A and B are shown apart, each in its own frame.
Chain A
Amino acid sequence: MRMKLLTLSVSTIALATAANADTMTVGLVAPLSGGGAAWGTAMKGALELAVKDINGAGGLEVGGTTYNIEIAAYDSHYNPNDAVTAVNRLIYEDQVAFIVGPLGSAPLAALVPVTTENKKITITGGFTPIAVAPEHPYSFRAVLPTQIYAAPQINYVVEKLGARKVGSLFPNDETGQTMSNDIASAYEAAGADASAVDYYERDRVDFVPLLTRLLAQGIDTFELDGSPPQTAGLLVRQLRELGFEGNIVRTGGDATNDILAVARPDASEGLYVHMEYDGSLPSAQEYQQRYVDAYGGTMNAFSPLFYTTINMIFEAMQAAGTTEDSDAIVAEMAKMSDFEGPAGKANWMGQEIWGTARQQYIPYAIGVVNGGVPQVIATCSLDKCE
Chain B
Amino acid sequence: MNSSDSTAAGRPHEREGTMNRFVLRLGLVAAACVIAAFVPGLLPNLFYVHIANLTLISGIFALSLWIIYSVGQLSLSHAAFAGIGAYASALLTLRLGIPPIFSLVIAGLLTATVAALLGSVILRLRGVYFVLVTFLVGQMFTLVALNWQDVTNGANGLISISPITVLGLNFGPRPMFFYFAFGMFMATLLFTWALTRSTFGRAFNSIEQNIDLAEICGIDTARYQVVAFTIGSGIAGVGGALIAHYIRYISPDTFTFHNSVAYITMLVVGGRSLFWGAVVGAAFLTPLPEFLRDFEGLQRIIYGAIMILVLRILPGGLISIPDKLARLGGRK
Interface positions of A (Cβ within 8 A of B): 32-33, 73-75, 79-81, 84-86, 88-89, 91-93, 105-106, 109-110, 113, 128, 130, 172-178
Contact = CB atoms under 8 A, between A and B. Distances in A.
A92 B253 contact: no
B47 A80 contact: no
B171 interface: no
Given A81-B254, A110-B249, A89 B293 contact: yes
Contacts of A175: 155
Given A109-B249, A177-B154, 16 more contacts: A32-B297, A73-B296, A74-B296, A75-B299, A80-B157, A81-B247, A81-B253, A89-B293, A92-B45, A106-B157, A109-B159, A109-B251, A110-B157, A172-B146, A174-B251, A178-B156
B323 interface: no
A80 B249 contact: yes
A173 B253 contact: yes
Interface of B: 44-48, 50-51, 54, 146, 154-157, 159-160, 247-249, 251-254, 290, 293, 296-297, 299-300
Given A32-B296, A93-B45, A173-B253, A84 B247 contact: yes
A85 B154 contact: no
21 contacts: A32-B297, A33-B297, A79-B253, A80-B249, A80-B251, A81-B253, A85-B290, A89-B47, A91-B47, A92-B45, A92-B47, A93-B48, A105-B156, A106-B155, A109-B157, A109-B159, A113-B160, A113-B248, A113-B249, A173-B155, A174-B157
A75 B296 CA distance: 7
Contacts of A91: 46-47
Contacts of B293: 74-75, 86, 89
A86 B156 CA distance: 21
A158 to B, nearest CB: 27
Of all A-B residue pairs in the complex, the 4 with the closest CB atoms, nearest first, are A92-B47, A174-B155, A92-B46, A93-B47
A371 to B, nearest CB: 34
A177 B160 CA distance: 20
Contacts of A85: 50-51, 54, 290
Given A85-B51, A86-B293, A106-B157, A80 B253 contact: yes
A113 B157 CA distance: 14
A105 B157 CA distance: 10
A159 B154 CA distance: 33
Contacts of A130: 159
A80 B83 CA distance: 14
